[in-house]
Chain A
Amino acid sequence: MNKTIKIKGDLTDWSALFDLMPNRKKRMRNAQPVALTSDPVRELVRNIHPEVINLVIDSVRDETASAKTFRLTPDIDEGTSALPIFRAGQYLSFKLPVGEETVTRPYSIASSPLDAFERGFFEITVRKKEGGFATGRIWNNWKAGVKVAASGPCGFFYHDSIRDSSEIVGLGGGCGVTPFRSMISDIVENRLDLRLTFLYGVRKPDDIIYHDELRKLEAKAPEKIKVVFVCSEPGESWTGPSGFLSADVIREHAGGMEGKTFFVCGPQEMYRFLDAELEKLNLPRRLIRREAFGEVTDPAAFPGYPAAAVGKSFTISAEIGDELFEVPANSAESVLVAFERAKLSPPSQCRSGECGFCRALLLEGDVFITPENDGRRLADKKFGYIHPCASYPVSDMKVRILRGA
């Protein structure tokens, strides 16, 4: 049982106990009566992860018939004096005004980290989509001098020295070239000890974005960078490789593949095609890094989609604060889009189910979530939280939306 121990030293009597609280008071009396005004770690956070970056369009240039590059510089008038550091391959989530509300669109930063840090600009390249809601607005409205707001750099599509091999194979398609332009510039400008073979798949030679620029970067560091353009509809004058980015094409141009890390960025059709091709290469999963899948526009094409919901309209009761809104929804569009159409813009960033920024509580009803874009935490699945950007209504629903960030 417990034994009463005789404590040596000063503790044979009770005086130390009786002094305990007076000592505390004395320490407080002797401390400085001043406010702690600075928190340098908080300053560091503001520099690395600003909540908002205010930008102004510096210039616009045409890349191809359907792609424009926008150069953006800090908007000092709105409080952004310098651009944050980022990791080549990351994206910005732009806040596009629609009336008094905003919708968000993620675009990879196509310029290099050094461009931001030393030269003070970001570049993004936007390809115009037929009938595209956001790209149409960007093409029409973004002229020199126009102000735009973006999130801080986000996403996980970047090379990491601890996780990834220094031998890299990049597979890009269409506008998915943009993060690779940043990565390649970063390797060349910062003399990184990395070797990147970039296979860029396009339909026609005219669709190649940054053709000359990528060749120039390759020429600056040929021992590190190799760029291969692959056309699926090459036409007669094309002398380079043709076809899709198949396992054979990859094998032919990427050399020995063992231990190399693959980075994949492109349209959803390309991801689907590459899933099968990469399987032929028998790569361990850890060596394949894919950019976020993007917003699904054809949920019914995914396995497991309930046939009864195809082409249906539903009503979402959206609870915000103490109010309820009736929001019409269409089964082919995400719950986030339904909210945006109803001008209830909850916060959002990745639009791929990955970041969880738009997180909302499903109170009643059902949604369909594609496995590719189900980035939810286990407990969120258990308790009924959804990521509206990756959830498609398959019944009438009741949802609690978080307030705007």
Chain B
Amino acid sequence: MNEKSTERLKPEYDVVVIGAGNGGLAAALELAVKGAKPLLLEQHNLPGGFATSFVRGRFEFEASLHELCSVGSVTNKGGVRAFLEDEAKVEIDWVPVPEAYRLILTDEKMDVTMPFGVDAFIDAVGKAVPGSRDSVETYMRFCEGISDALGVIGKLQDKPDLTKIAATIQNLPAALKHIASTTPGIVNFLKTLPCTVEEVTRTFNIPDDALKIIYPYWCYLGVPMSRMAFSLWAALIIEYIRLGAYIPRMRSHELTSAMEMRIRELGGRIEFNTRVEKILVEKGRVTGLETSAGDKIKTSCVICNASPTLTYNRLIHPAEEVPEAAHRNVNAHIHGGAGFVVYLGLDAPPAELGINEYGYFISKTMDTDAVYNSLGRLGMTDMQATICLNNAVPDCSPPGTTILSMTTLYKPDVWAGVTAKDYFALKNKIAGEMIDEFEKALGTKIRGRIEEFEVATPATFSRYTGTYKGIIYGYEPEPWDSIITRHLALKDENYIRGLMFAGGFGAMCMGYSSALLSGRAAALAALKKLG
């Protein structure tokens, strides 16, 4: 009908953001804050990507967020809070997560609950494993130094050339004495940059049992400690333990909706139900895009919240415009974990079920290589990260009820062979085993109290966001492919002019906070380009 033709968007935009996940929203928000009028296109009918929620009966479930780091308190703000609250004026009702985690190692009979706060954390490890306190303290202080150094480097205006910095520090000329003395971690940071977690950690002679207590956050990066980039690990554990973790009171849909509203308020344009089918490229330069709604939009600048994998393999048009180097780049990365989440609405309050903590890491062992290998089998894996939302937000479900969600990961190809016919039975089989495992670990009984039950598999994440093979974890951060190396390579690995990436597959690596901050960084880069 002719009425509908008016749905058309403007024919040209300075900058278009593809995908309203955390990265895309943050990019559009930063652009709008800086006075640009971005267009944000999202294929789904709501914002958020993985950062969303859904309703079943009288429960509203969080889709994927466990806890955000880099938020911090009002008086001690982390990067995420500072960006949203101070810079973008986005008000979120942040709720602190009560404790770091309760770790239950079922094969190793370990059960310990850890607090936030670096000192309290060190004390708790020392108490749980007598004789470990000194080595753990040395280690945690070392990690703090690394995290601070990363912060300092992140704030340097121009992209630092680390090898040059290193060469200079080695000779320690006067110019660099200052940075080295105010942030002593910077030397350690540079030295450990090529190292895995294991390579660095084993030099601290921390007793094995203490290490097991320190390591659980590994599953937020999903790479075994034998391959995980140490510097990213150090920053991660310190960001969590030092600032604590937070969640939005009304699930992550509150966070993403608040960003959506602010973008609109600032004159940004958001269209849902609009899938970008083609990013048009001519002679290595972005010229525009085409959408499922029939829009043809001219633009020279695209910030893409879809992964490079998806972008180079499906979105760039014509495909010949994707250089071989871009394909090599995608194939050199190790694709990270695909998501599997069991959502439970229970008709008993948490206390009655003996569920008194917010976050549980339940794992057979803390041998991260062994657990990682279990992610390659099509069955229950050796670990689950389970949260009880009510223990942070007591009224998140009606009185007398509980919301639980149990998450695990799979290597990207595990679900590739599943047929539609087997799909429903398989997801229930795995979910059932995860429920059994949780019951056993806590000595509780939740079967028989299940009022609502839902499972998200890699297929579910693929369905709602289009993510390649259902991956929710980006590329695995090994030392050669971690936050600093990705930043240093940004210019070299920019294969199509005018195309930038935001989100968990980007330079900041995976995670909600990283994705948010990556979007902001991409927007700043785009603004610089646009002049």
Contacts and interface: CB of A to CB of B under 8 A. Distances in A.
Nearest to A381: B250
B347 interface: yes
B489 A14 contact: no
B471 to A, nearest CB: 9
A42 B465 CA distance: 11
A40 B417 contact: yes
A399 to B, nearest CB: 14
Nearest to A35: B313
B415 A379 contact: no
Q: A-side binding surface: helix, strand, loop or mixed? A: loop
Nearest to A376: B55
B253 A39 contact: no
B489 A21 contact: yes
Interface residues of A, number: 79
A11 B200 CA distance: 9
Given A14-B167, A31-B332, A41-B416, A405 B453 contact: no
A17 B194 contact: yes
Interface string B266-303: 00000111100000000000000000010000000000
Interface string B139-168: 001101100000000000000001100110
Given A4-B188, A162-B432, A84 B489 contact: no
Contacts of A35: 312-313, 319, 322, 327
Contact of B7 (A32, A40, A321): A321
B450 A34 contact: no
B123 interface: no
Interface string A264-287: 000000000000000000001110
Contact of A377 (B60, B202, B492): B60
Contacts of B46: 356, 359
Interface stretch (A22-30, A57-65, A141-149): A22-30
A2 B141 contact: yes
A320 interface: yes
B1 A2 contact: no
A203 B54 CA distance: 38
Contacts of A42: 462, 466, 468-469
Contacts of A85: 420-421, 423-424
Given A27-B480, A44-B418, A321 B8 contact: yes
A1 B328 contact: no
B338 A41 contact: yes
A37 B462 CA distance: 16
Given A347-B273, A377-B55, A48 B423 contact: yes
A301 interface: no
A32 B459 CA distance: 26
A229 interface: no
Nearest to B183: A2
A71 B330 CA distance: 47
Nearest to A287: B451
A279 B9 CA distance: 53
A24 B480 contact: yes
A84 B420 contact: yes
Contacts of A402: 45, 272-273
B459 A405 contact: no
Interface string B1-34: 1011011111000000000000000000000000
A226 B55 CA distance: 33
A163 to B, nearest CB: 4
Interface string B195-207: 1000110111000
Q: B-side binding surface: helix, strand, loop or mixed? A: helix
B428 A161 contact: yes
B178 interface: no
B73 interface: no
B191 A7 contact: yes
A351 interface: no
A375 B428 CA distance: 25
A19 B194 contact: yes
Interface string B439-464: 00000000101111100001100110
Nearest to B484: A20
Interface stretch (B100-108, B254-262, B516-524): B254-262
A391 B260 CA distance: 22
Contacts of B403: none
B125 interface: no
A32 B331 contact: yes
B45 A347 contact: yes
A47 interface: yes
Nearest to B447: A162
B75 interface: no
Contacts of A34: 327, 331
Interface in B311-334: 312-313, 319, 322, 324-325, 327-332
B145 A44 contact: no
B263 interface: no
Contacts of A385: 257
Nearest to A117: B421
A36 B330 contact: yes
A44 B424 CA distance: 12
Interface in B58-73: 58, 60
A1 B170 CA distance: 21
B349 to A, nearest CB: 14
Contact of A41 (B142, B250, B415): B415
B487 to A, nearest CB: 11
Contact of A17 (B1, B162, B449, B492): B162
A47 to B, nearest CB: 4
B120 to A, nearest CB: 19
Contact of A20 (B141, B193, B338, B468): B193
Given A32-B327, A45-B463, A286 B7 contact: no
A78 interface: no
B56 interface: yes
Contacts of B371: none
Contacts of B431: 162
Shortest 10 CB-CB contacts between residues of A and residues of B: A286-B451, A323-B6, A31-B332, A33-B324, A40-B416, A16-B194, A163-B453, A2-B145, A379-B254, A47-B420
Given A7-B203, A21-B488, A377-B60, 4 more contacts: A27-B480, A42-B469, A162-B453, A404-B7
18 contacts: A4-B184, A5-B142, A11-B194, A21-B488, A21-B489, A31-B328, A32-B331, A39-B462, A44-B415, A47-B420, A48-B423, A343-B3, A347-B45, A357-B45, A377-B253, A383-B257, A402-B273, A404-B273
